[in-house]
Amino acid sequence: MDNNLIKWDLELIKRYDLSGPRYTSYPTAVQFDPELSPADLVATGQTSADKSSPLSLYVHIPFCEHVCYYCACNKVITRNRKKAQPYLDTVYREMAQLSEWYSDNRPVTQLHWGGGTPTFISHEQMIELMAEMRKNFNLLDDDSGDYSIEIDPREASLETIKVLRDIGFNRISLGLQDIDPKVQEAVNRVQSVEQTAAILEEARRLGFRSLNLDLIYGLPYQTLEGFNSTLDKVIEMNPDRLSVFNYAHLPDRFRPQRHIQEETLPSPETKLAILESTINKLLEAGYVYIGMDHFAKPDDELAVAQRTGNLHRNFQGYTTHAECDLVAMGVSAISQIGSVYYQNEHEMQVYSDAVTANSHAIKRGVSLTQDDIIRRFVITQLICHFELDKAKVAKKYDIDFDEYFADALKELEAFVEDGLIKLDTGSIEVTPAGRLLIRRICMAFDAYIPKEQSTQRFSRII
């Protein structure tokens, strides 16, 4: 299937642009239950995990020196670098427990440090953190793993990039958002193009094999012309991957967003024009539309995985590591072990106290039913590959697909009439007009969303 076929149908987009899950998991985090016993979640994870499969590790480093007003991440704003070491010491204690539960000497084929700003910690602390991970888990030494880190170019020197390469990272993701100084000032994130370009250039020189840039549309003072200028500069920088996120203005939920004046935000019409232009520009520049917010070069592992049917989706977004259990550590981190998802405590002090008392900080989770597992597979196939082989699902889970999903298929009839999907006896295929609305299509298979219910707990689809 050629994923570069995107049909922009404004009428359909406006009709279906509701709020909905991003499906980095199914069930989504809304279904995580704080009443479930952490011991039961861990026990179920251990018994349902495939011990012969590799692991993915995630560490959440929440510190930022400056607040970006658009940010909805779990973070701690501080200029006091001394706060990092006590937190890392707590993570090491949690890590030892997680290793005991899940390591089994399974190879770690994927690793990610996210935030916050992971490069907030010192070079010595980076070296120490990676050493602790190597001590507790079976990290690869041959550079074949997918080891990535999020970088704020304002918080990373060229020496930082060398340290990261030396300790085993081979992928980086840089936040850029927009190059317009007026937009940057309005969101309190002023960084020069030169800063970003210098980091990318040094990373290439040192042999990082994948470079990602994050952009955001819908920020204060953005215009179609201005964002096109950002895209031109970004295409010139030539990253391997691009994430282009829709800014969701939810000041009641995210305190920093209260600094953003609503009247400075672009209109819904301008946002849609920016998105349409972004897609066209990136496709013309040779990038492949992976899905939702993501683009990659045709030879990038994400694009290859999509072509070969091996693309997956988890809490880090699109990934090539469908076979991995995800072991996450740090405040608010979410793990996926076997048929279990669970999330750590959100508040820093509560997290630290929990680890001190229990060697873990599990706050809430969900143990998947067989129905969850079946629906997760269907949603993952659609959101990663824009098509579904009904017979494959029926055989894999020993069900009659049309009977099992009778309600969902009835809902899909409207999508067929509107040209979002093609539906026949053997398959569901998302059309070029439906790809931008894939989240809405997946919602038809979501058993937790009553069909008439408001979905205000989620961001808008576009």
- Mean pLDDT over 180-198 rounds to 95
The pLDDT value recorded for residue 460 is 58
Neighbours of 358 (CB within 10 A): 13
pTM assigned to the model: 0.92
DSSP assignment of 234-265 equals HHHH--SEEEEEEP---TTT-GGGGGS-GGGS
Residue scoring higher pLDDT (3 or 373): 373
DSSP state of 305: H
The pLDDT value recorded for residue 455 is 41
**Residue 407 main-chain phi, psi, to 5 deg:** -65, -45
Cα(129)–Cα(109) distance, rounded to whole angstroms? 17
Residue 317: left if φ>0, alpha if ψ -120 to 50, beta else—which one? left
- Scan for tokens 């740090």, then name that residue: 330
Taking CA atoms, 52 is separated from 74, 146, 290, in Å, by: 33, 18, 29
pLDDT digits over 65-107, tens only? 999 999 888 899 999 999 999 999 999 999 999 999 999 999 9
pLDDT digits over 296-345, tens only? 999 999 999 999 888 888 887 888 887 899 999 999 999 999 999 999 99
pLDDT digits over 22-65, tens only? 898 999 989 999 999 999 999 999 999 999 999 999 999 999 99
Taken as a whole, the chain contains a residue count of 462
Cα(91)–Cα(60) distance, rounded to whole angstroms? 9
Residue 203 pLDDT > 80, yes or no? yes
- Domains in the chain with CATH codes: 1-27+369-462 (1.10.10.920), 32-329 (3.80.30.20)
The pLDDT value recorded for residue 6 is 78
- pLDDT confidence bin for 453, thresholds 50/70/90: very low
Residue scoring higher pLDDT (37 or 12): 37
For 47, the 3-state DSSP assignment is helix
- pLDDT confidence bin for 225, thresholds 50/70/90: very high
pLDDT digits over 124-153, tens only? 999 999 999 999 999 999 999 999 999 999
Query: Widest CA span of the chain, in angstroms?
Result: 62
The pLDDT value recorded for residue 459 is 55
The secondary structure of 197-239, three-state, reads: HHHHHHHHHCCCCEEEEEEEECCCCCCHHHHHHHHHHHHHHCC
Any bridge partners for residue 217, and if so which? 246
- Mean pLDDT over 428-447 rounds to 92
pLDDT digits over 243-286, tens only? 999 998 989 989 999 999 999 999 988 998 999 999 999 999 99
The pLDDT value recorded for residue 457 is 46
The pLDDT value recorded for residue 454 is 40
The pLDDT value recorded for residue 451 is 54
- Mean pLDDT over 15-25 rounds to 80
- pLDDT confidence bin for 18, thresholds 50/70/90: low
Percent with pLDDT over 90 in the chain: 81
pLDDT digits over 380-418, tens only? 999 999 999 999 999 999 999 999 999 999 999 999 999
